Chains A and B, each alone.
Chain A
Amino acid sequence: MSIKHLLGLQHLSVNTITQILDTAGPMKQIISRNLKKVPTLRGKAVATVFYEPSTRTRMSFELAAKYLSADTVGLAAASSSVVKGETLIDTARTVAAMGADVIVLRHPMAGAAELMTRYTDVHIVNAGDGMHEHPTQALLDMFTILELKNTISGLKVAILGDILHSRVARSNLWGLTKLGAEVHVAGPPTLLPVGLQQLGAHVHDCPEAALEGADVVIALRLQLERQRQGLIPSLREYTRLYGLNAERLALARDDAVVLHPGPMNRGVEITADVADGSRSLIAEQVTNGVAVRMACLYLLTVGDGGREDIN
């Protein structure tokens, strides 16, 4: 792969995105084996550096690295020198100096991963930076859609909820539009960022318009503090106006599928029956997340040369 870092989907070519998605297929086969381990990344070290709480993304990256035989080490900001005031750049240099080949960074501020690339030589994988991007989440969403629909091109994808604060929405918007999907976003006007139309998104303040005839529905997590911040009047009203329930989902195509990046607030942005229903791919997303992250780690560190190793 021609890129050194994975910072976001904005600057990735269609070819690179396709290459990652193509590589995730064989990776998924490895996970389904009885003996889930290949020697591909033996001798490589992957450090996960997380400045925000995370369950699935962190575990997903660590398992992805382990299934490929990389050594992994994790740093949680709350129990590190960060609380002693160490800067992000110094932390990056320290981790790099210990010999890490890849730093997987989760950070509450936009641009943190890009900042690291300017001060270290190691591969940086953005595992979510503020409201900016969460590329592996979008890639796993796209992989999940592809598994069922065989194509992204021409699909209508509805993304519902707090678009303003969502790095998942931004990465999906870049990735899905690059692969030819028609992306509709819907949320309360106080939770819609300005200018998305200029990126090719169709923007609605009513979810019904986005859902009408959709092939894919992505419900986003609503951070509960948005109400305290005065962005919505109440969770109750939010659920009533924007929550994904069976009645709203009926507006989508009969074969529409439902995704959620997790963790879910059941009963807020999505009802339990939809989350657990037959059209929900939420559990599949988690499995695919490991496969896609294996593909990313592999392609960044080994590249195209050793493709046969993974089989």
Chain B
Amino acid sequence: MKILIKGGTVVDPSAGTLRELDVLVEDERVIKVEAGITARGATVLDTAGMLVSPGLIDMHVHLREPGYEYKETIATGTAAAVRGGFTAVAAMPNTNPVADTRAVIEYVKKQASVAANARVYPVGAVTRGLEGNELAEMGEMREAGAVAFSNDGRPVVSAGVMRRAMQYARMFGTPIISHCEDDTLVDGGMMNEGLTASVLGLKGIPAAAEEVMVARDLLLAEAIGCALHVAHVSTAGSVRLIREAKRRGVPVTAEVTPHHFVLTEEAIAGYDTNAKVNPPLRSKADVQAVLEGLADGTIDVIASDHAPHADYEKAVEFDKAPFGLLGLETTLGLVFTYIVEPGVLSAPQALARLTVNPARVLGLAEPAINPGAMADITVIDPNHEAQVNPDRFLSKSRNTPFGGFWLRGQPVATIVAGKIFKFDQEGR
């Protein structure tokens, strides 16, 4: 089967260039990238005025399976991914059972291949059961396909355990993805410490809760030489610490989520539990700092931290609601509306943070649209504006604070290994 992607602008995120070229896909590979291709019998995708990008990778996603299938399954989560323009996601291990053994990693991969939507790269736990005590079997998980290790959602409390985890992970060349929050400083907090929390009467989480652990993990990574990836950076202090560490040559990369560069703590006024997330939405100054971090390359990756929860879990007192919000089906629009449109980054630069940069962090093949490359492609209409309507999400859950937002820049088609998923303007 052939697909001819005709009339669009091909993005090369590595080189930062845009070129008007046609792309011919046969079966699961790109076979030709030239101007003015004609191909008899090919399905033609008219992409005039659109961007043709290497497939987007969301390196921070919670698919909830096994164990929490009422929130999301690998099938629904990867359908949401494809709908959001992502050809691949990295799935966090805080499932039940925890992805801390080869068996669970293999199960995740199997369910992903049955679903046959986006690719799924499993992330294994750093410690058994996410308990933060004994190391998980990283070598076995690595063999089974784990691309990184993380205790996301349950940060490794002990510096000693984290140090050993880094020593051990280093031999595989596999990064440790650190969710940096010191639980003694979070101390039951519900949102960013500040005026909004004081007014709402919600317990605050100081910026230092994140920064203390960022600093710790940077020092450990520097001493050991293990690749460290700091998940969902949310504070100005973290950006500064990572910037300084990169200058010293520490092997560190970092990501930011759309909600941390679009929203502030004020989104919680009215006790919107869909804006309750870990780390919390921060201040305007923090948003400014993460945008600067994105612009100057301190922050390498944009990832959604897609964290589905059922409606009834969020329709409770703010203190009782679980942390987390959806991201897969809003990330691309938020990136184009809040990063590309105001000129924080150009479209190719922004797409690098959703393609080649996460691929480098995870040690995946370089995403590119070249003859011979895997046909993982995202077609984006940068000018189409659409309103976020959670009722149309393919995710099983609806917990987004972005309902009603008008976002310019929408995925039009997602191609995974030559299999095409197309969307009309109303949503599938």
Contact = CB atoms under 8 A, between A and B. Distances in A.
Nearest to A196: B198
A89 B200 contact: no
Given A110-B271, A133-B201, A195 B195 contact: yes
A107 B271 CA distance: 15
Interface stretch (B26-34, B243-251, B311-319): B311-319
5 contacts: A89-B316, A109-B319, A132-B201, A170-B199, A194-B198
B198 A195 contact: yes
A110 B316 contact: no
B318 A111 contact: yes
Interface string B359-372: 00000000000000
A234 interface: no
Interface string B189-223: 00001110111111110000000000000000000
A193 B318 CA distance: 19
Interface string B296-328: 000000000000000010011111100000000
Interface in A159-199: 167, 170, 193-196, 198-199
Contacts of B270: 114
Nearest to B312: A87
A170 B202 CA distance: 12
A87 B315 CA distance: 9
A21 interface: no
A167 B198 CA distance: 10
Contact of B202 (A87, A110, A196): A110
B319 A88 contact: no
Contacts of B204: 193-194
Given A114-B270, A195-B194, A88 B317 contact: yes
A250 interface: no
Given A132-B200, A132-B201, A110 B319 contact: yes
Interface of B: 193-195, 197-204, 270-271, 312, 315-320
A70 to B, nearest CB: 27
A129 B315 CA distance: 17
Given A88-B316, A109-B319, A193-B198, 7 more contacts: A110-B200, A110-B318, A111-B317, A112-B317, A114-B270, A129-B201, A170-B198
Contacts of A111: 200-202, 271, 317-318
A107 to B, nearest CB: 7
A251 B202 CA distance: 34
Instruction: Give the interface size class of chain A.
Output: 20 to 34
A84 to B, nearest CB: 16
A199 B204 CA distance: 17
Given A89-B316, A110-B318, A170 B193 contact: no
A37 to B, nearest CB: 36
A50 to B, nearest CB: 15
B315 A167 contact: no
Given A194-B193, A194-B204, A195-B194, A87 B316 contact: yes
A4 to B, nearest CB: 16
Contacts of A130: 201-202, 319
Given A110-B318, A111-B318, A198 B201 contact: no
**For the complex of A and B, 6 pairs with smallest distance between CB atoms:** A132-B201, A195-B195, A111-B271, A131-B201, A110-B201, A193-B198
A110 to B, nearest CB: 4
A89 B203 CA distance: 22
Given A114-B270, A115-B271, A194-B193, A89 B315 contact: yes
Contacts of B318: 109-111, 115
A29 interface: no
A88 B270 CA distance: 17
A109 B320 contact: yes
Contacts of A88: 316-317
Contacts of A107: 317
A252 B420 CA distance: 77
Interface string A127-165: 001111100000000000000000000000000000000
Contacts of B312: 87
A10 interface: yes
A6 to B, nearest CB: 16
A177 to B, nearest CB: 13
Contacts of B320: 109
B182 to A, nearest CB: 15
A114 B320 CA distance: 15
A118 to B, nearest CB: 9
A113 to B, nearest CB: 10
Interface string A86-125: 0111000000000000000001011110110001000000
